[in-house]
Amino acid sequence: MLDLRLTRAARPAVQLRRLLVAAASAGTGFLLLSCLGYALNHPEAAGSGALRLAWCGVPAAATVYLALAVARTDPGTRPRPGLSAIGLGPARLMVISALVTALSTLLGSLVALSLFLYLRGDLTKMPFDGAAASFLAAGKSLPLAATLTLLAVVPGVATGAVALALRPRDPQPVARPQRRYLPFVRQAGGPAVEGRTGEAEAGGAEGAPAGEDTPRARAGATGARPAPAPGTDETDGGAPAGLPWAVALVATGLTAQAYAGRTPPTPAFTFTAVPSGAGLFLLGWLLTAVGLILATPGLTHLCGRLLQCARPGALRLLAGRGLMAEATRIGRPLGILCAVTAAGYAMTTLYDAPARPFGPLSALGALVVAGCAFATLLTAAVETRQCRTETTAALLRLGAPVTVLRGAAALRAFALLAFFAPLTLAIAALAAFPLTR
């Protein structure tokens, strides 16, 4: 009962995020059922049916990623002091998160099944004068096993991903590198070092001949702590790794798309077919998207550093440090949104030419992917705000005005928009340029 109360007694914003997961699951489930209807209506076109099913992998992955982001920000399933004493330890809370995700996605799958049966005319008479009969296999019986399997894909994968990501981990001590200090270095509260200071002044470092000029001897003579190595920042975790490889992936993908543009494909990017000769273009775009996603955390970290250039004040310093600390958490969802935006621009470029109109299934798939990407970014922003609660409370106790904190948040959002909007448009234009020639 306590588990149910933790799930039900949530804020409206939490319930809204769960409903977004259910809506994304409903859209993806309807696309999967549409693939089944097309396969039943066109049994001779096995290749086209398999291609439709492969296209559904993109909205399915976007839905699972959104479900994982929502599960991480659920305050009702977050470990808190005292819950372990009543049987709600980390493992139990992980199970609750997985169950909530399963319920949300199963609700979406049921909505998709109801809508699919309604459009087929199985519940009432066929609506819209039978306009959906061509891809829903109206009048043909649905195989129960295939229908249940397709509807269980998103709930099963999303639940497994949440359970895997939120599984309790054994707390292991972090192995920190031990700093070796000279025994004669003067430290606060160290009475044992007083007697060795004279030895250091007379003979230099321990184990070194008198008068020898070594870094350890110089450190002992000055009585100061050795400076950290260049490139290390003890107050910052460092920039996310992999930025050079990510830039190389983006360049490789754009090059592959440029070569694919020599034989312009037929503009028919739908769930029905792939343009002729577009395999290299799809591969190039996949490399570009992966490189952009991997590069975004490093670019977010760089954006935070740029905010602190040229004698920053308190506002810019707070905003820049916040971006540097949140680079990995906010960077991946931002990179996914940038990749989806660039892909949408490329698709609209393809449809500028006279060709088959943008079908309803393609529009639904694009809406699911774009909506999941945007909702995941907003959810990541909520998670970042939750992780910054203690820091915000400490700043408020020190007397920081609320307007400064809000201004820093607005400055972070403006800096990300000003940095990534031109970058996304440039990559989208370069990706679509071979298709417009």
Dump pLDDT digits (tens) for 379-393.
Answer: 998 888 888 888 888
Structure tokens at 97: 């998160």
pLDDT at 354 over 70: no
Tell me if 420 sits within 8 A of 334, measured CB to CB.
yes
> 334-353: per-residue pLDDT in tens?
999 999 998 888 777 665 54
pLDDT at 167 over 70: yes
pLDDT at 173 over 70: no
Sign of the Cα pseudo-torsion (195, 198, 203, 206, in order): positive
Question: Residue 22 has what pLDDT?
Answer: 95
Q: For residue 41, what pLDDT is reported?
A: 82
Q: What secondary structure, in 3-state letters, does 179-223 show?
A: CCCCCCCCCCCCHHHHHHHHHHHHHCCCCCCCCCCCHHHHHHHHC
The per-residue pLDDT for 87 is 60
* pLDDT given for residue 372 in this prediction: 94
Q: What is the pLDDT of residues 95-142, one digit of tens each?
A: 888 999 999 999 999 999 999 888 887 777 666 655 666 667 777 788
pLDDT value for 223: 41
What pLDDT, on the 0 to 100 scale, is given for residue 82? 58
Percent of the chain surpassing pLDDT 70 = 69
Specify the pLDDT at position 196.
42
Average pLDDT, rounded, for the chain:
76
Please write the tens of the pLDDT for every residue from 209-248. 444 444 444 444 444 434 333 333 334 456 788 888 999 9
Check residues 55 and 260 and name the one with the higher pLDDT: 55
30 or 344, which is more confident?
Answer: 30
At 218 the pLDDT is 44
Point out the least confidently predicted range of 101-115, 164-178, 274-288, 313-327.
164-178
Residue 393 to residue 380: CA distance in whole angstroms: 20
Instruction: Report the pLDDT value the prediction gives residue 360, as an integer from 0 to 100.
Output: 82
pLDDT of residue 416: 93
Tens-digit pLDDT profile for residues 394-428 = 888 988 888 989 999 999 999 999 999 999 999 98
| pLDDT in the model for residue 352 | 53
pLDDT score at 277: 46
Range in 4-13, 249-258, 265-274 with the lowest mean pLDDT: 265-274
Instruction: Tell me how far apart the alpha carbons of residues 281 and 68 are, in angstroms, rounded to a whole number.
Output: 30
The residues, any chain, with a CB within 8 Å of residue 206's CB and separated by 6 or more, are: 182, 183, 184, 199, 200
What does the alpha-carbon distance between residue 347 and residue 343 come to, in Å, rounded to a whole number?
6
pLDDT at 74 over 70: yes
Q: Nearest CA to 140 among 173, 116, 164?
A: 116
Under 8 Å between Cβ of 187 and 73: no
